[in-house]
Amino acid sequence: MPAKSQAQQKAAGAALSAKRGETKNGELKGASRAMYESMTEKQLEEFAETKRKGLPDKKS
């Protein structure tokens, strides 16, 4: 499932980074923390790989 906004894509990227151990999960806040706790690495990859071009800044 692709991300529906740039903010969602960025949060998924941050959560994916923590899931892979590249950053500390204690540094996550808000949506990225919720995504880290509730989604698998594969789901996060699908959100994070979404191209930002044409996406709104935030989901309405």
Q: In 10 A of CB 33, how many CB atoms?
A: 17
User: Would you state the structure tokens that stand for residue 27, as one six-digit string?
Assistant: 């540094």
Task: Please check whether residue 55 lies inside any domain of the structure.
Answer: no
Task: Please check whether residue 13 lies inside any domain of the structure.
Answer: yes
**Cα first-last separation, the chain:** 18
Is the model more confident about 28 or about 55? Answer: 28
- Give 8-52 pLDDT, tens digit per residue: 999 999 999 999 999 998 999 999 999 999 999 999 999 999 898
Distance between CA atoms of residues 15 and 39, nearest Å: 9
Q: Are 15 and 21 in contact (CB under 8 A)?
A: no
Residue in the structure block whose two tokens are 């892979």: 20
Task: Please check whether residue 59 lies inside any domain of the structure.
Answer: no
pLDDT score, position 1: 76
Specify the pTM. 0.86
Distance between CA atoms of residues 60 and 46, nearest Å: 21
How many domains are contained in the chain? 1
Task: Please check whether residue 39 lies inside any domain of the structure.
Answer: yes
Which range of residues forms the domain containing residue 38? Answer: 6-48
